[in-house]
Amino acid sequence: MGAGPACGDGRTPHALSEMTTGAWASRGEVRLLEQAVQRVVSEWIAAEGWQDVSEIVVERPADHSHGDYATPVCLQLAKSARRAPRVLAEELRGRLLADAEISELVETVDVAGPGFVNLTMSAPALSGAVRAMLAAGEDVGRGVRERPLHVLLEYVSVNPNGPLHVGHARYAAYGNTLSRIMAFSGHKVSTEFYINDYGRQMEMFGRSVAARYAQALGLDLPVPEDGYQGEYVKSIAAAVITEIGDSMLEELRIGGLEDADSTAIGFFRVRGYELVLEQMGADLESFGVGFDRWFSETPLHAEGRVQETIDKLLASGDAYARDDAVWLRTTPFGDDKDRVLIRSNERPTYFAADIAYHLDKLERGFDHLINIWGADHHGYVPRMKAAVEILSHDPEMLEIIIGQMVNLLEEGELRQMSTRRGEMVTLAELVDAVGVDAARFFLVMRSHDQTLDLDLALARRQSAENPVYYVQYAHARIAGILRNLPAEQAAWLSDEGGLVPAAAEGLFELTYERELIKSLAWFPQLVIEAADRRAPHRVVGYAQELAGLFHVFYKNCRVIGVEPVVSRSRVGLCLASQRVLARCLDLLGVSAPESM
RNA sequence: GCGCCUGUAGCUCAGUCGGAUAGAGCGUUGGUCUACGAAACCAAAGGUCACAGGUUCGAAUCCUGUCAGGCGCGCCA
């Protein structure tokens, strides 16, 4: 796969959706029942000569009375086999029970409903799963890819002309969490912030800083009509004054703000954006978001690389001149119209620089490029994908993830944000209000293509009831339990391998234990799904489910003061639960407290 | 007008690429700490999955149309 014609459904790039398994599973410590069932079914289909089904579904039924695993495959096969689903299900049941591998892992195999085959795990399968998790240690759930990809993930990427607001915070949290998940799932991920430090918006920003600088020194230069009115610009101007005093004032008095190429305006633009960028880096860092590289747009222009890229496109015939401008031929690749690279005033467009940037990415040899953009840029997607396809000849090389917006509410009232008017709630303010953990958890809790309502007043007031604490509490609770184990029991922890026997009387026979183990055993697959579907919010949902199952288990199952074998195995279950919870929180960039 | 995203409980949202009786949190009501952490647990109430057709053994999920909301449709970035 990978080299053939595009066959993706547009939601998952086919290059990334190859079959994979968690490390501890693929090492053979646990033979996943699911895979064994799939094997038996496909052998059966081949033997009978039936038409293959697209995927042999083996799922965890929502209803526990339907067993631990279930497959509806007989319903799908009925037509091709020309036999009643329940008859097929009975035959499959026999085949499953006759299989050496499955019979060991399975307690019961039942035919139910219109033709489902339901399986329940055997005690050895349950204890084997826990033993394998403990053996994997901190790496439990880490994925191994048959073909790991080196992915470049670009996100946040804004004009450095103002503080990051909560909309940016969402993309920062999403992108950072995604990078952690993809890396943990077995890919190699590099992250990058593209600094849009060039162009008209930045010139306007430079003028705005200059105006505030002049004003602070008693020269009445008004901030331009389309300039940046926010208070933070005054702070920047003040910072500049402490650095250079009034040494730029005279030049502003003479030259004013009009000439963008003047040394004064240029100075304020550059110094202003450096200060903003510094703050951005600090804010992101304290938010748990770091980048492998910060890539500045300006050198692409200064070093002539934008022009080189355009020349290359002209030479290949993908670009052409018309109406005093230069255009890129993007329509053959699904765009509505061709796009301008060089304006009739001879200045290159933002798009032209972005192409040069993406050419740079391609030349660095990544297998796959991912950009995360806000919904307000989605109209830009077809031209960018067209450009990368022209450069790479691979329509799937670039994947653009569109994140929907954040609606900021205050007591249910919508608050509009505008960087230019300086009306916004910043990332830093959000973190001050609710803390990093709650902010990150909340921002990735929902699917990225759902607009997110964030009520600041509510978030502030309910901070003690935030769902993040539910998960953190489960982790802290386990830590507390293990910390307070009596000496004899505490000694068990030094021999994790000996905690859970392969089989014993009373071992994991309660529903609470079984449900918890099943959920834990699902984790490696959850990681793969969250990574391949670019869906960090699944990790949140999973962590909540797991925490809930642990709380119920703990409420109903004594860990200490029961049969030694049962007691030891439950300590093992606590330990495995704690590790998986800690890993989930780590993937989300949320702390896993030992106590709270 | 065209394109993208969305429409599921009072509110905010999940829903394992088409599976069995649609779930969670918050909110509401009522229970549970003289054995390991009550930031927890248990129970109750609450649904025309926007609407109408279609595809099939089976649809919240896929297709078509309608309605509603958000975003976009520059030689701005």
Please identify residues in chain A, positions 399-428, with a C-beta within 7 angstroms of any atom of strand B. Answer: 402, 404-405
pLDDT tens digits, residue range A550-573? 999 999 999 998 999 999 999 999
Is A355 part of a structural domain of the chain?
yes
pLDDT tens digits, residue range A487-517? 989 999 998 988 998 888 888 989 899 999 9
Please identify residues in chain A, positions 276-335, with a C-beta within 7 angstroms of any atom of strand B. Answer: 323-325
pLDDT for residue A595: 93
pLDDT for residue A16: 37
pLDDT for residue A455: 81
Using a pLDDT cut of 70, give the percent of chain A over it: 94
Is A135 part of a structural domain of the chain?
no
Distance A58 CA to B18 C1' (A): 14
Residue A380, pLDDT above cutoff 90: yes
pLDDT tens digits, residue range A269-281? 999 999 999 999 9
pLDDT tens digits, residue range A178-196? 999 999 999 999 999 999 9
Based on the domain organization, do A335 and A448 belong to the same domain?
A: yes
Is the Cβ atom of A447 within 7 Å of strand B at any atom?
Answer: yes
Give me chain A's average pLDDT, please.
Answer: 89
Is A314 part of a structural domain of the chain?
yes
Protein CB footprint (7 Å) on chain B nucleotides: 3-7, 12-17, 19-27, 35-42, 56-58, 69-77
Based on the domain organization, do A161 and A273 belong to the same domain?
A: no
pLDDT tens digits, residue range A225-271? 888 988 899 999 999 999 999 999 999 999 888 887 788 999 999 99
Strand partners, A191: A153
Rg (CA), chain A: 29
Based on the domain organization, do A306 and A278 belong to the same domain?
A: no
pLDDT for residue A330: 96
Residue A292, pLDDT above cutoff 90: yes
pLDDT for residue A551: 95
CATH of the domain at A80: 3.30.1360.70
d(CA A32, CA A568) in angstroms, rounded, equals 24
pLDDT for residue A14: 34
Structure tokens at A61: 């039924």
Nucleotide nearest to A341 (CA to C1'): B75
d(CA A471, CA A468) in angstroms, rounded, equals 5
Based on the domain organization, do A458 and A445 belong to the same domain?
A: yes
Q: One-letter amino acid identity for A407?
A: N
Based on the domain organization, do A357 and A423 belong to the same domain?
A: yes
DSSP string, A366-391: -SEEEEEEEGGGGGGHHHHHHHHHHH
Based on the domain organization, do A176 and A63 belong to the same domain?
A: no
pLDDT tens digits, residue range A298-334? 999 999 999 999 999 999 999 999 999 999 999 999 8
Distance A81 CA to B10 C1' (A): 49
d(CA A233, CA A242) in angstroms, rounded, equals 15
Which of A435, A463, A491 is at the close of a domain?
A463
What is the span of the domain harbouring residue A161? 150-197+291-463
Please identify residues in chain A, positions 6-35, with a C-beta within 7 angstroms of any atom of strand B. Answer: 9, 11-12, 17
3-state DSSP assignment of residue A554: helix
Structure tokens at A5: 């014609």
Is the Cβ atom of A114 within 7 Å of strand B at any atom?
Answer: yes
More confident residue, A28 or A422: A422
Which of A463, A494, A522 is at the close of a domain?
A463
CATH of the domain at A551: 1.10.730.10
Is the Cβ atom of A199 within 7 Å of strand B at any atom?
Answer: yes
Is the Cβ atom of A449 within 7 Å of strand B at any atom?
Answer: yes
Residue nearest to nucleotide B20 (CA to C1'): A113
Residue A108 parent element (H or E): strand A106-112
Based on the domain organization, do A313 and A167 belong to the same domain?
A: yes
Q: If you count them, how many residues does chain A have?
A: 596
pLDDT tens digits, residue range A90-131? 999 999 999 998 998 899 999 998 999 999 999 888 999 999
Is the Cβ atom of A53 within 7 Å of strand B at any atom?
Answer: no
DSSP string, A237-284: HHHHHHHHTTTTHHHHHHHTTT-TTSHHHHHHHHHHHHHHHHHHHHHH
Is A269 part of a structural domain of the chain?
yes
What ipTM describes this predicted complex? 0.95
Give the number of domains in chain A.
4
Residue A345, pLDDT above cutoff 80: yes
Based on the domain organization, do A386 and A528 belong to the same domain?
A: no
Nucleotide nearest to A350 (CA to C1'): B77
Is A400 part of a structural domain of the chain?
yes
Based on the domain organization, do A313 and A403 belong to the same domain?
A: yes
Based on the domain organization, do A180 and A296 belong to the same domain?
A: yes
Nucleotide nearest to A473 (CA to C1'): B39
Please identify residues in chain A, positions 335-364, with a C-beta within 7 angstroms of any atom of strand B. Answer: 336, 339-340, 343-345, 347, 349-351
Residue A182 parent element (H or E): helix A166-184
